């Protein structure tokens, strides 16, 4: 009779519908470009913060892997919450302004329009990406300390491995930017890596000057 | 014969509607066309951009089909964020209702 049964709204088909809707929205408002920008900026933020946490812990003489894990988790949580709320509020403000300008240009209300829905979804999605990117980077970079906690690595090896993972992530972020700009991915990767290494060097230098 | 001039034995069918409309520039024509094409009775949608402004575009929409659900047009347009400025042309035919 045209009504949908429970089998029609299986989780998989719901997800498929959701992705279809996002694809439709992304053709109306810009989601991809801003998401990419937020992803790179916040992943880079997360990576540099984790360099700070790991080197800071090493310099402070913390030998307990659990302490570093907790530090990493708190950084991930803080950056996640700050990323989501900051990006959501900022995006929402920009999109609301856009809708209001559009309403003035069209001399009509756009409350129930697909344009308004697309703007709301875009703000939410961008905020989620902004929140998740530093969280993922932070969580990945503390994996060696989890291994150290279970006695599979020494603390020094965990520090070394964690820094290596962060450097690799930073390089990959740079390479991603290189691909977007259609220039040399290696050059972009190296540029980003140099910034990460300079940050680490400054941290070590500050410690020596202390 | 009813007060609307429609006999019970005849069917009044809207076959063509030409609309002068204003739409947000960011709304793709394909998106609007697809939505309009989903209206009952619409077989073809033709859109021509007649004017481009900084934020909006003036378009001429031609809907063709048989027995087009005329009342659904403003709803779909509103949903898409487009505004109807005027109905510039309409084609209606009368035929004997099938029993």
Q: What is the pLDDT of residues B34-92, one digit of tens each?
A: 999 999 999 999 999 999 998 999 999 999 999 999 999 999 999 999 999 999 999 99
Q: Whose structure tokens read 């998106």? A: B31
Q: Give the tokens for residue A63.
A: 């030998």
- From the number of C-beta atoms within 10 Å of its C-beta (0-12, 13-18, 19+), residue A143 rates as middle
> Is A10 an interface residue toward B (CB < 8 Å)?
no
Rounded CA separation A176/A193 (Å): 13
Taking the C-alpha atoms of residue B53 and residue A107, their distance in angstroms, rounded to an integer, is 14
Asked if residue B99 has pLDDT above 70, the reply is: no
Both tokens assigned to A37:
């920008």
Q: A142, A151, A136: which is closest to A45 by C-alpha?
A: A136
Instruction: Please tell me the predicted confidence (pLDDT) of residue A95.
Output: 92
pTM: 0.79
Q: Per-residue confidence at A210, pLDDT binned at 50, 70, 90? A: low
pLDDT for A107-142, tens place per residue?
A: 999 988 999 999 999 999 999 999 999 999 999 999
Q: Which residues of B touch A29 (CB under 8 A)?
A: 26
Measured between beta carbons, the chain A residues lying within 8 angstroms of B27 are 28, 114-115
The Cα–Cα gap between A64 and A66 comes to 5
Task: Tell me the HSE value of B48 on the side-chain side, using a 13 A CA sphere.
Answer: 6
Structure tokens at A198: 């300079």
Which chain A residues are Cβ-neighbours of B58 within 8 angstroms?
A: none
> Which residue does chain A place closest to B57, by CA atoms?
A106
Contact A105 B24 (CB under 8 A): yes
| pLDDT of B32 over the 90 cut | yes
Confidence category of residue A1, pLDDT binned at 50, 70, 90: very low
Of B31, B55, B78, the CB nearest to A102: B55
pLDDT at A10: 85
Please write the tens of the pLDDT for every residue from A148-172.
999 898 988 999 999 999 999 999 9
Phi, psi angles (nearest 5°) of residue A199: -60, -45
DSSP H or E stretch at residue B40: none
Which residue of A lies nearest to B21 if distances are taken between CA atoms?
A: A106
Rg, chain A, Cα only: 22
Residue with tokens 């005027």: B86
Written as six digits, the tokens of A185 are 């991915």
Identify each DSSP E strand in chain A by its residue range. none
CB-nearest to A115 from B24, B30, B83 is: B24
Instruction: Please tell me whether residue A82 adopts helix, strand or coil conformation.
Output: helix
Give the integer Cα–Cα distance in Å for A54 and A47. Answer: 11
pLDDT value of position A12: 86
Q: Determine which of B21, B24, B28 to mutate to test the interface with A (most A C-beta atoms within 10 Å).
A: B24
Q: How far is A178 from chain B (nearest CA, A)?
A: 28
Residues of B in contact with A113 (CB under 8 A): 78-81
pLDDT digits (tens, 9 = 90+) for A119-128: 999 999 999 9
Give the ipTM: 0.77
Cβ pair B26:A106 closer than 8 A: no
More confident residue, A89 or B97: A89
DSSP assignment string, A109-140: --TTSHHHHHHHHHHHHHHHHHHHHHHHHHHH
Listed range (A4-13, A95-104, B22-31, B68-77) with the worst mean pLDDT: A4-13
Mean pLDDT over the full length of chain A: 88
CA–CA gap between residue B13 and residue B70 (Å, rounded): 10
Summarize pLDDT for A46-103 with one digit per residue, the tens: 999 999 899 888 888 888 899 999 999 999 999 999 999 999 999 999 999 999 999 9
Alpha-helix residue ranges (DSSP H) falling in B3-71: 29-37
Instruction: Say if the Cβ atoms of B26 and A115 lie within 8 Å.
Output: yes
More confident residue, A203 or A103: A103
Give the chain A residue nearest B27 (alpha carbons): A28
In chain A, what residues touch B55 (CB-CB under 8 Å)? 101-102, 105
Read off the pLDDT of each residue in A1-14 and give the average, rounded to a whole number.
63
* Contact residues of B toward A, CB < 8 A: 22-24, 26-28, 30-31, 53, 55-56, 78-83
């Amino acid at each position: 009779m045209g009504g949908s049964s429970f089998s029609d709204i299986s989780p998989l088909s719901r997800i498929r519908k959701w992705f279809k809707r996002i694809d439709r929205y992304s053709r109306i408002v810009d989601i991809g470009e801003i998401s990419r920008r937020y992803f790179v900026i916040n992943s880079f933020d997360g990576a540099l913060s984790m360099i700070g946490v790991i080197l800071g812990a090493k310099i402070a003489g913390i030998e307990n892997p659990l302490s570093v894990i907790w530090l990493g988790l708190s950084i991930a949580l803080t950056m996640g919450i700050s990323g989501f709320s900051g990006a959501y509020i900022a995006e929402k403000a920009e999109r609301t302004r856009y809708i209001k300008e559009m309403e003035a240009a069209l001399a009509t209300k756009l409350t129930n329009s697909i344009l308004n829905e697309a703007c709301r979804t875009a703000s939410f999605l961008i905020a989620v990406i902004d929140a998740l990117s530093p969280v993922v980077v932070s969580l990945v970079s503390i994996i060696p300390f989890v291994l150290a906690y279970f006695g599979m690595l020494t603390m020094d090896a965990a520090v070394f491995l964690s820094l290596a993972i962060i450097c690799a992530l930073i390089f990959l972020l740079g390479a991603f930017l290189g691909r977007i700009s259609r220039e040399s991915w290696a050059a972009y990767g190296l540029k980003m890596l140099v910034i990460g290494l300079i940050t680490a060097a400054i941290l070590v230098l500050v410690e020596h000057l202390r | 014969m009813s007060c609307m001039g429609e006999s019970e034995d005849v069917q009044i069918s809207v076959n063509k509607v030409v609309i002068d409309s204003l739409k947000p520039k960011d709304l793709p024509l394909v998106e609007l066309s697809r939505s309009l094409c989903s209206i009952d009775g619409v077989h073809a949608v033709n859109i021509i951009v007649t004017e481009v402004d900084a934020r909006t575009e003036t378009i001429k929409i031609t809907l063709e089909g048989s027995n087009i659900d005329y009342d659904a047009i403003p709803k779909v347009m509103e949903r898409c964020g487009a505004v109807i400025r005027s109905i510039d042309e309409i084609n209606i035919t009368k035929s004997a209702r099938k029993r």
